[in-house]
Structures are given as C-alpha cells and as structure tokens.
Amino acid sequence: KRECKFVTHLEAIPGERPDIHLVKEYITYEDGTRKPNFNVIKDFKRDFYITKPHYQKYKQKKESESMDRLNMYMSTESDLGKECCSRLGGYKYVGKTNLWDAKESQYLYGVEIDSATILKHMYTSKYPNSFTPYSVAVLDIETNIDTGEIVLISVCDHNKVYTGILESMLKGRNKPIEQLEYLYKKYIPETDISKNITPEFIICKDEPTLIKTIISKTHEMKPDFLAIWNMNYDIPYIVSRCELYGIRPEDIFSDPSVPKEWREFNYKEGQSSRTTASGVAKIFGPWEQWHVIRTCASYYIIDAMCSYYYVRVGTKQIPGGYSLNNILDVELGSKYKKLKFDHLNVTQSDGIDWHKHMIENHPLEYTIYNMWDVMSVLELDS
C-alpha cells in the first residue's frame, strides 16, 4: 500500500517544465517493510464542473448542484483558469486565463479544491487506514564569526547523526575521528533516543563541500519534516554562503531526483510586525514569526522554535524566553540542556566569545556540542 504525506504543486513554465506534483509517499511492501519515496507526477489532470447550458437559468451561486446537471472537464492545475474560462465561453471570458475571473461564475463547480488535495484524497481513498506518524530530522549549523564560514553542520534523525566538519577548523589534529568518537561517548547524554543513534563524522575540505555533503544526507534520510531551531538564522546564512560560491540554493535543497530545470527555492520570512486596529505597532518576537520555504524536497522545512510556540498560543509565556537551552531546561530538565565543558575553564557558557574560544581552542568538543544541539531537539519532540 501507499501512504501520501504531502503534495507540492509546481506550476508549468512554458519551454522549461511541465505541470508537476511532487508527492512524498511511503510504500509498504508485502513483507511488511516500509520505505519513503519521492514520486514526481507530470501533467496530472484534475476535474472541474460546469452547469449544462439548458440548466443555466439561475443568477446566484449555489452551494451544490446535482451531478446530472453538470458537465465534467479535466485540466492540469496550471491551465485550470484558462480551461475554465474557455469552457464557460461567451464574450465575458474572451482572452481571460485567470482562475479568479472564472470563479465569479455561478455555473462553475469544484475549483475551490486544489489538485494537491485531490491527489492526497485519491491516495487515502485507494489505501485507507494507512496513516503513520510523521518522521522528523533536525539540522543545525555553527559559524566562524571572524571568517564568516560555516564550520559545522549536523543533521539527525532517530537512526543516524551526520556531522560535517570544515577541515581547517581541526588544524591538523592527529586522528580527529577517533578523538571525536571518544568525546561523543563521553559527553552525549544517554537516553532512549540517543542510544539508538549512530554518529558519523565527515571531514570536508572546504565550505561548499560541507554544505553539499550534509544537505545531501537530508535527502537520503527523507524525513517528513526537517526542523531547525530559529531557522531564520540558519537558512538565510546557508543561502548566502551558497550564493557566495555561485551555488544555486535550489540545487542544494531540491531532491536529486528532480531535474535541474524543474528545481526551485523560495524563502519567505514571517511577518515581523503589524499595526493594530487602534494604530499601535506590535513587534513580533522571533518565535512568533512563521517562515515558509518552498522547494522541491521530500520534506517540509519548519522552524522548531516557532512550532513549539504556536502549539501553545494562548498559554502563559515561557519564563526565560524561547532559546533552545531554556526550553530544554523547562521541558526536560538540566540533563538535556546544551553541553558545557566546565573542565576546559571557559568563563562564558554561551555568547559570541564562547563560540569563538571553542572554535579556536577546542574544536573537537565544539563538534560534539553541535551534535547534541540537533539530538536534543529530537528529545524535545518526543
């Protein structure tokens, strides 16, 4: 059987790509094994309905109409406006191609439901009772304030944590992988989740390789959600570094199975303020903003901090704010907070100076710190 998790529609671009639907699905085989799949559907045609001419005698829109009074037509989502206007006919719709122009007709039915919803309904109708919990992976970056480089990227799901390390940060340390494996066992808290996660350290020769390598791991994982705590820092930073090296963000974040000419990436920041009816300006905190990413991946990228806040809207504000460290302490206790390395005699436990000191003097421990940042969000999610 097949289970559809979500569908993303990409409009046709004449001469470049057809009408496309990207379906994140799970396939369950006869032996019970279950695997994620990314299904690309080209030129899917959905239905719409128009009242038969001899019944077109009413002036107001109806909530419903009998099927025997309607003609059914088929169209891609990209051409829906043009097809509706064409089928409605008459001088009123000559030259019109926008769906909004057709929607005003009292004789048009079915266009309020988009093709992505129709496709998902087709899955659930054919394979009922196939719902399973959504899967989550978590990503986090660390940057060098002095050079501007991304020096660490970790991504983690319930089976694996991959950490990419910029080679220059290690400064020729001897057998760094062996040291990192030792420090991982020493400092990562043992929990029901962490004990089932296998670490893999990947040393990357330069920053573009680091970005490409770890983002490619997210495509291999194929989670349903890729969560980032305060992603309005991580995503724009990754995008800016890609652009610095002439790398198209859509090539990084799109699933490798999507042809290059079809790919896209769009990042829309959430509203940061609004003016109330009384004319007072309200500034939204970072946790109150909802950022949206549109890309051709097998997962949705979401801000874990904003998600945490929005499922609790209407409750009391969290004392201490919405930093990951504070939320871990509030929800799970001090055992799960960000890692500290008291024996290193670092005077500050956070802030720019602490991060600079760790990169310069203790890059191996700093790597383990980054790994726990993603693993701890999984603990929080559970």
What tokens were used for 95? 């030259």
Q: Mean pLDDT, to the nearest integer, of 96-118?
A: 93
Average pLDDT over residues 217-233: 96
> Looking at residue 349, what is its pLDDT?
58
Q: Predicted confidence band at 281 (pLDDT cuts at 50, 70, 90)?
A: confident
Q: One-letter amino acid identity for 33?
A: T
Answer whether residue 187 shows pLDDT above 60: yes
Confidence (pLDDT) at 350: 62
Banded model confidence at residue 91, pLDDT cuts 50, 70, 90? confident
Q: Find tokens 């079809």 and name the residue.
A: 262
Q: What is the mean pLDDT of residues 77-96?
A: 91
311 vs 291, 305, 307, 330, CA distance in Å?
15, 10, 6, 16
Percent of the chain topping pLDDT 70: 98
Average pLDDT, the chain: 93
Residue reference for tokens 């004789």: 107
pLDDT at position 7 is: 95
Report the candidate in 55, 58, 86, 62 with the shortest Cα–Cα distance to residue 73.
86
pLDDT of the residue at 345: 67
Taking alpha carbons only, the member of 99, 52, 62, 53 closest to residue 77 is 99
Helices (H), the chain: 80-88, 99-103, 115-126, 167-170, 176-187, 207-221, 231-244, 249-253, 304-310, 324-331, 352-361, 363-381
- Whether residue 362 is predicted with pLDDT greater than 90 in this model: the reply is yes
| C-alpha dihedral, 239 to 243 to 249 to 250, nearest 10° | 150
* Residue 37: φ, ψ to 5°: -145, 150
Overall average pLDDT of the 97-102 stretch = 91
CB neighbour list of residue 242: distance below 8 Å, 6 or more residues apart: 208, 211, 248, 249, 252
For residues 53 and 87, what is the distance between their CA atoms, to the nearest angstrom?
11
Q: Averaged over 289-301, what is the pLDDT?
A: 94
Q: In this predicted model, what pLDDT tens digit does every residue of 205-224 receive, in sequence order?
A: 999 999 999 999 999 999 99
Residue-wise pLDDT for 17-29, tens only, equals 999 999 999 999 9
Q: Is the pLDDT of residue 157 over 70?
A: yes
> How many Å apart are CA 194 and CA 200, to the nearest integer?
13
Higher pLDDT, 162 or 129: 162
Residues 6 or more apart whose CB falls under 8 angstroms from that of 68 comprise none
* pLDDT score, position 155: 98
- CA 88/CA 102 separation, integer angstroms: 8
Rounded-to-integer distance, Cα 162 and Cα 199, Å: 6
- Confidence class of residue 364 from pLDDT cuts 50, 70 and 90? very high
Label residue 348 by pLDDT band (50, 70, 90). Answer: low
Q: How high is the pLDDT of residue 93? A: 87
Secondary structure percentages of the chain, helix, strand, coil, to 5: 40, 25, 35
pLDDT in tens, 124-145: 999 998 888 899 999 999 999 9
pLDDT value at position 341?
84
Tell me what pLDDT residue 335 has. 87
Residue 244 banded pLDDT, cuts 50, 70, 90: very high
Closest CA to 146 of 366, 324, 358: 358
